[in-house]
């Protein structure tokens, strides 16, 4: 009885499926903010392909990446284009689920010179494979409250001249106005870890995947963080919490080290009322650091690879779309495309930074930032290094011992 | 006498305090849903109803939230009905007959309750993928229909509430076993079915990880996945999210209110089943 | 009433059981077996099944030697106790108060008690974050009124545990109250009357007459709390998504989630999940043997 019904039902389903396949659409899966960038490119796309609508799938930052981990292995439902944040890119590169864009028909390696060096390198593997194209970059920068430092008699050169002078500035600030230099000692560690990485040296691993956590860079970063904590230069609060936002708003925390993308967050919701009081500076000791960035990739299982490639090119290599993402007030993305970075718009003064043309500074930083390769185990290392620093800060554990333990644990977790 | 009065007052005060604590987060939900994101993160955060509710509602309606509510309703309805049918049949079999493998089935039902659900999410994903069910609602409501507790509850109830002679009379009248189940036992099981319905509804409505993994299309999002999709790591429109959260809580409240009259029987049954 | 053998209905029981068994096999047994299979593999879920290599007992050896796994087990156990004990004391007190003072309104009391239990974690996450915020949270502002605080609810190694335990209490105390209320309402009225005649009042009556009667329910409810505690995830994930300072709020479930989904170590996470399952079952069996006179016998 049921059998008799099954055949016609199956036939109907097949007919539906094939008609669905004919009426193609392009599925683009991204995380919040990047969806705004995709929306900006849609009018152009619809002009070019009025018959192929773009289906935009947006999910929260962590959920998006966590789900990709299973979705890219499934036989159906893989998106055609996926947005991946730099923290997760190493993992997806290593999993072998992304199309190698260096191959025919893409030949993305010919585009190398068009992109910011460090971002392009992060999307590639040592064997020459290209797994993604960069959309925006986040060169590290130091945001600081000029009004507060002025009041304490500290100028920008004092602040960023060297790591020692950064600490000195913090001490003066605390002594003269009772304010905190940074939100958390961890910020100091992150600032140094990122800034002191050399070309070809990963944040936590070398190119062969060996952990670097006992290197002098980590020891120094931990020492700086400990000094900050011991001398009470940090507010001891976690970033992205209510009081963190409130303290940035009320001017209790005077500086934030982050990627240039933080300007968008700062001006739109963290502390919009402090407009005009902030400035951006290069990192201390004349260093440059990679600090986040977004990429687009094509899953191996994508159904519409040719269209996906066309869309990625529209998103990443078309100066108009790249410029649009920089101009959008909610986005303020710094383009990964060099021609877009050379646009005069970069020189316009930014009211939030008291008229400072901060993008010039970030352009300079983006182009000078050394390429620090991403490792698939970066999140593991980050977690264990953070725990090691907690042990130093809260339990007064010896720095070298803490790092040695962290190294053992990292090796154990990434074993094989 | 006066001491008794004081005791009464103390007990009532204590009850009122507990009720307040339990209700406080709901009050906050209400408050937050009537403010903008900037106000919620303001200093101090709002403590009273604000004026943003209409705006939040409008922004919420611009997202596929109502679609997600509808999807959730569909998935939950299917899983609850299926769960009721499957569990009552199995419970009937376990209560009325004696057969080989009976204790194995009982043990399986108990085992099913002990498993941490997220432990099997990844193998389940690959399995669903093999079946070709990815992005289909049945990938969510079918597993939700398997309830070890449901089977135990139905068995318990049928054992204790249905007189055996009723079945014998039915059989003498020439009822088939199927009609015995459908026309004699099932109508008498209404309280147990209602209990299981409530429990299964709430569990299915609040499920998050499974629909997140197996229903990737935004058109198929269930309500809690949609809520999470609205929040980003930072800078989400929290007022809108809270408005959505408030609406997402409403159906469970409605089910609770409907069930409130039957509290006693419902809970004693759940407890018995778990015994 | 005992079920009896009904010979003319040979296949009927199996037919009635078939839908349940079919769904059970498809959606519980297969994924369950799959997770056992995974526990002996290594690889990232993203690579698909083909990319997962057989590694023997390696994952279990790794679990045994991973300090964070043991640390998380310790946290889980501690949180279970910190949340479980006050939760049941509260529930016992509340249920007695409702039973003796509210009478007919107890249905509505049950409704209020069930509210936290049925509300999804996602909906209340932000609310609790805001309540517990150090400088601007409502709770610290109240404490300030009586001259206490401020307490760093979310970052201090100990206080974050207290916060999580409080959240667990909030969610489940009401549920347990309703369970105890049910047991109280099932008590024969004659029992309390008899106690009153004997002159047992107030605390003495509760302690010597009521509490022993509640014992089976206490064992059942605390067993459920124990099971839930071993799987504790939502509350820690809400208040300390990164595990908190020095990973002091990291429960085993949260750690497994991180390993499997963030780090892509599916095999290791699954092996640990099996260890967690085995220890949960052991714990419960031991608990039942200690307290639960014959609960398992009744089940079989």
Over residues A340-379, the pLDDT tens digits come to 999 999 999 999 999 999 999 999 999 999 998 899 889 8
Report the percent of chain A where pLDDT is more than 90. 65
d(CA B18, CA B20): 5
Smallest CA–CA distance from A265 into chain B, residue:
B235
d(CA C262, CA B72): 27
Interchain pair A242, C136: CB under 8 A: yes
Residue C62 in this model has a pLDDT that exceeds 60: yes
From chain C, pick out residues whose CB is under 8 angstroms from the CB of B203: none
B45, B126, B228: residue with CB nearest A63: B228
Q: What would the two tokens of residue A119 be?
A: 């971002």
Please list, in sequence order, all residues whose beta carbon lies within 8 angstroms of the beta carbon of residue A124, skipping any fewer than 6 positions away: A102, A130, A131
From chain B, pick out residues whose CB is under 8 angstroms from the CB of C35: 119-120, 122-123
Q: How many domains does chain C have?
A: 1
| Residues of chain C in Cβ contact (below 8 Å) with chain A | 42, 44-49, 51, 55, 58, 62, 65-68, 129-130, 133-137, 152, 154-155, 157, 242-243, 245-247, 258, 261-265, 268
Interchain pair B124, C124: CB under 8 A: no
User: Is any Cβ of chain C less than 8 angstroms from the Cβ of A408?
Assistant: no
Residue A179 in this model has a pLDDT that exceeds 90: yes
For residue B201, the Cα-to-chain-centroid distance in whole angstroms is 3
Interchain pair C127, B25: CB under 8 A: yes
Q: What is the CATH number of the domain that holds C223?
A: 1.10.3720.10
Per the domain annotation, does C27 fall within a domain?
no
**Domain coordinates in residue numbering, chain B:** 52-274
Fold type of domain B52-274 = MetI-like fold (1.10.3720)
Over residues B156-215, the pLDDT tens digits come to 788 877 888 888 888 888 888 888 898 889 888 887 888 788 888 988 998 887 888 888
pLDDT greater at residue C95 or residue C121: C95
pLDDT of residue A94: 86
For residue A127, the Cα-to-chain-centroid distance in whole angstroms is 24
From chain C, pick out residues whose CB is under 8 angstroms from the CB of A409: 66-68
Q: Do domains A26-137+292-347 and A139-289+355-414 have the same CATH topology?
A: yes
Q: In terms of residue numbers, what domain contains C255?
A: 59-295
Fold type of domain A26-137+292-347 = D-Maltodextrin-Binding Protein; domain 2 (3.40.190)
Interchain pair C51, A376: CB under 8 A: no
pLDDT of residue C18: 92
Q: What share of chain C is helix, strand, coil (3-state, %, to 5)?
A: 80, 0, 20
d(CA C222, CA C228): 10
Q: Is B204 in contact with B80 (CB distance < 8 Å)? A: yes
Interchain pair C266, B25: CB under 8 A: no
Does residue B130 sit in helix, strand or coil? Answer: helix
Over residues A287-332, the pLDDT tens digits come to 999 998 999 999 998 889 999 999 999 999 999 999 999 988 777 8
Interchain pair C247, A387: CB under 8 A: yes
Band of residue C9 on the pLDDT scale cut at 50, 70, 90: low
Please list, in sequence order, all residues whose beta carbon lies within 8 angstroms of the beta carbon of residue C91, skipping any fewer than 6 positions away: C173, C174, C176, C177, C179, C180, C221
Q: Is C209 in contact with C200 (CB distance < 8 Å)? A: yes
Interchain pair A60, B41: CB under 8 A: no
Residue A285 in this model has a pLDDT that exceeds 70: yes
A214-228, B99-113, C149-163: range with highest mean pLDDT: A214-228
The residue among B70, B157, C20, C125 whose CA lies nearest residue A241 is C125
Neighbours of A, requiring at least 3 CB pairs below 8 Å, are B, C
C3, C31, C273: residue with CB nearest B97: C3
What is the 8-class DSSP label of residue C54? E
| CATH number for the domain whose boundaries are A139-289+355-414 | 3.40.190.10
Does residue C188 sit in helix, strand or coil? Answer: coil
From chain B, pick out residues whose CB is under 8 angstroms from the CB of A70: 122, 125, 213
Q: Is B164 in contact with B98 (CB distance < 8 Å)? A: no
Smallest CA–CA distance from C132 into chain A, residue:
A242
Which residues 61-80 of B are in CB contact (within 8 Å) with C?
none
d(CA B109, CA B86): 12
Q: What would the two tokens of residue B141 be?
A: 């409501």
d(CA A295, CA A118): 13
Number of other CB atoms surrounding residue C41 within 10 Å: 20
**Domain coordinates in residue numbering, chain A:** 26-137+292-347, 139-289+355-414
Smallest CA–CA distance from A408 into chain C, residue:
C66
pLDDT of residue C232: 85
Per the domain annotation, does C29 fall within a domain?
no
d(CA A236, CA C246): 14
Residue to substitute from A16, A20, A36, A76, interface B, most B β-carbons within 10 A: A76
Q: Which residues partner with A81 through β-bridges?
A: A28
Lowest mean pLDDT among A236-250, A257-271, B147-161, C118-132: C118-132
Report the percent of chain C where pLDDT is more than 70. 88
For residue C71, the Cα-to-chain-centroid distance in whole angstroms is 19
Over residues C162-211, the pLDDT tens digits come to 999 999 998 899 888 888 887 787 777 777 777 777 776 677 788 888 88
Over residues B24-56, the pLDDT tens digits come to 878 888 888 888 777 776 666 677 788 888 888
Residue to substitute from B271, B272, B273, B274, interface C, most C β-carbons within 10 A: B271
The residue among A193, A138, A117, A137 whose CA lies nearest residue A368 is A117
CA distances from A276 to A249, A253, A280, A352, B238 (A): 13, 16, 11, 5, 26
Q: Is A69 in contact with C46 (CB distance < 8 Å)? A: yes
Q: Which secondary structure element, helix H or strand E, spans residue C53, and what is its range?
A: strand C53-54
Q: Is C235 in contact with C168 (CB distance < 8 Å)? A: yes
The residue among A5, A7, A395 whose CA lies nearest residue A229 is A395
pTM across the whole model: 0.81
d(CA B19, CA C206): 23
Least Cα separation, residue C81 to chain B (angstroms) = 19
Least Cα separation, residue C65 to chain A (angstroms) = 8
Peptide bond into C150 cis (omega under 30): yes
Lowest mean pLDDT among A108-122, A246-260, A261-275, A341-355: A261-275
The residue among A231, A132, A129, A139 whose CA lies nearest residue A180 is A231
Report the percent of chain A where pLDDT is more than 70. 93
The residue among A370, A332, A376, A323 whose CA lies nearest residue A351 is A332
User: Is any Cβ of chain C less than 8 angstroms from the Cβ of A63?
Assistant: no
Please list, in sequence order, all residues whose beta carbon lies within 8 angstroms of the beta carbon of residue B273, skipping any fewer than 6 positions away: B149, B152, B153, B156
């Amino acid at each position: 009885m049921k059998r008799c019904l099954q055949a016609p039902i199956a036939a109907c389903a097949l007919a539906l499926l094939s008609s669905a396949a004919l009426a193609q659409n392009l599925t683009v899966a991204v995380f919040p903010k990047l969806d705004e960038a995709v929306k900006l490119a849609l009018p152009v796309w619809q002009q070019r392909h009025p018959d192929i609508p773009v289906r935009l799938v947006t999910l929260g930052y962590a959920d998006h990446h966590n789900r990709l981990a299973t979705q890219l292995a499934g036989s159906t439902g893989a998106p055609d284009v996926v947005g991946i944040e730099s923290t997760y890119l190493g993992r997806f590169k290593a999993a072998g689920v992304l199309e190698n864009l260096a191959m025919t028909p893409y030949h993305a390696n010919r585009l190398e010179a068009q992109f910011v060096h460090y971002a392009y390198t992060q999307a590639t593997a040592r064997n020459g494979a290209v797994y993604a194209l960069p959309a925006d970059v986040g060169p590290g920068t130091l945001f600081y409250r000029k009004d507060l430092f002025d009041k304490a008699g500290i100028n920008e050169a004092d602040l960023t001249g060297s790591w020692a002078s950064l600490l000195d500035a913090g001490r003066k600030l605390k002594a003269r106005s009772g304010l905190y230099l940074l939100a958390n000692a961890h910020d100091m560690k992150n600032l140094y870890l990122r800034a002191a990485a050399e070309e070809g040296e990963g944040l936590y691993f070398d190119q062969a995947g060996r952990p670097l956590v006992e290197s002098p860079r980590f020891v120094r970063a931990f020492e700086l963080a400990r000094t900050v904590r011991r001398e009470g230069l940090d507010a001891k609060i976690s970033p992205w919490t209510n009081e963190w936002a409130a303290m940035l708003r009320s001017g209790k925390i005077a500086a934030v080290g982050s990627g240039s993308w933080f300007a968008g967050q700062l001006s739109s919701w963290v502390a919009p009322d402090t407009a005009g009081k902030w400035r951006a500076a290069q990192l201390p000791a004349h260093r440059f650091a990679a600090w986040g960035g977004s990429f687009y990739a094509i899953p191996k299982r994508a159904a519409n690879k040719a269209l996906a490639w066309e869309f990625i090119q529209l998103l990443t290599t078309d100066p108009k779309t790249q410029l649009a993402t920089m101009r959008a007030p909610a986005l303020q993305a710094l383009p990964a495309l060099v021609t877009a970075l050379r646009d005069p718009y970069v020189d316009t003064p930014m009211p939030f930074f008291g008229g400072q043309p901060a993008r010039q500074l970030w352009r300079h930083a983006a182009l000078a930032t050394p390429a620090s390769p991403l490792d698939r185990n970066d999140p593991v290392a980050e977690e264990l290094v953070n725990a090691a620093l907690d042990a130093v800060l809260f339990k007064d554990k010896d720095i070298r011992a803490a790092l040695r333990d962290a190294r053992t644990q990292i090796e154990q977790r990434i074993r094989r | 006498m006066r001491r008794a009065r004081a005791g009464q007052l103390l007990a009532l005060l204590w009850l009122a305090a507990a009720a307040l604590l339990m209700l406080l987060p709901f009050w906050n939900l209400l408050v937050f849903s009537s403010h903008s994101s900037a106000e919620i993160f303001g200093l101090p955060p709002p403590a009273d109803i604000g004026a943003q509710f209409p705006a939040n509602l409008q922004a919420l309606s611009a997202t596929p939230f109502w679609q997600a509510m509808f999807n959730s309703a569909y998935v939950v309805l299917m899983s609850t009905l299926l769960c009721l049918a499957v569990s009552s049949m199995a419970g009937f079999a376990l209560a009325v007959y004696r057969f080989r493998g009976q204790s194995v089935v009982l043990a399986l039902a108990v085992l099913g309750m002990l498993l941490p659900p997220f432990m099997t999410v990844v193998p389940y994903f690959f399995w669903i993928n093999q079946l070709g069910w990815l992005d289909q609602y049945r990938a969510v409501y079918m597993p939700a229909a398997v309830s070890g507790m449901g089977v135990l509850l139905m068995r318990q109830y049928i054992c204790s509430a249905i007189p055996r002679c009723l079945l014998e009379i039915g059989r003498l009248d020439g009822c088939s076993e199927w009609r015995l189940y459908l026309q004699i036992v099932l109508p008498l099981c209404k309280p147990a079915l209602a209990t299981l319905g409530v429990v299964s509804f709430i569990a299915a409505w609040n499920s998050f990880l499974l629909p997140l993994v197996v229903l990737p299309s935004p058109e198929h999002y269930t309500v809690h996945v949609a809520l999470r999709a609205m929040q980003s790591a930072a800078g989400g429109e929290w007022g809108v999210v809270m408005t959505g959260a408030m609406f997402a809580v409403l159906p469970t409240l409605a089910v609770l209110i409907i069930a409130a009259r039957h509290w006693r029987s419902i809970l004693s049954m759940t407890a018995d089943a778990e015994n | 009433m005992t079920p009896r053998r009904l010979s003319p209905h040979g296949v009927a029981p199996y037919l009635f059981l078939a839908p349940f068994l079919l769904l059970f096999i498809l959606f519980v047994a297969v994924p369950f077996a799959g997770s056992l299979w995974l526990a002996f593999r290594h690889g990232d879920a993203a690579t698909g099944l083909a990319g997962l290599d057989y590694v023997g007992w390696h994952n279990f050896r790794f679990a045994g030697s991973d300090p964070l796994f043991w640390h998380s087990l310790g946290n889980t156990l501690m949180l279970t106790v910190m949340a479980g004990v006050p939760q049941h004391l509260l529930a016992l007190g509340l249920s007695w108060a409702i039973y003796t003072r509210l009478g007919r309104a107890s249905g509505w009391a049950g409704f209020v008690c069930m509210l936290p239990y049925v509300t999804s974690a996602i909906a209340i996450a932000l609310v609790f974050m805001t309540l517990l915020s150090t400088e601007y949270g409502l709770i610290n502002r109240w404490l300030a009124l009586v001259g206490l605080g401020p307490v760093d609810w979310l970052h201090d190694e100990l206080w974050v545990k207290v916060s999580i335990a409080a959240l667990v209490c909030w969610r489940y105390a009401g549920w347990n109250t309703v369970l105890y209320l049910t047991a109280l309402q099932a008590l024969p009225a004659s029992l309390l009357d008899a106690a009153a005649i004997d002159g047992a009042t107030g605390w003495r009556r509760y302690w010597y007459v009521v509490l022993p009667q509640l014992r089976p329910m206490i064992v059942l409810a605390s067993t459920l709390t124990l099971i839930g505690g071993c799987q504790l995830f939502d509350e820690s994930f809400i208040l300390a998504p990164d595990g908190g300072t020095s990973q002091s709020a990291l429960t085993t479930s949260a750690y497994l989630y991180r390993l499997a989904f963030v780090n892509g170590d599916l095999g290791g996470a699954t092996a640990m999940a099996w260890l967690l399952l085995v220890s949960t079952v052991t714990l419960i069996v031991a608990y039942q043997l200690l307290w639960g006179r014959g609960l398992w016998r009744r089940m079989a």
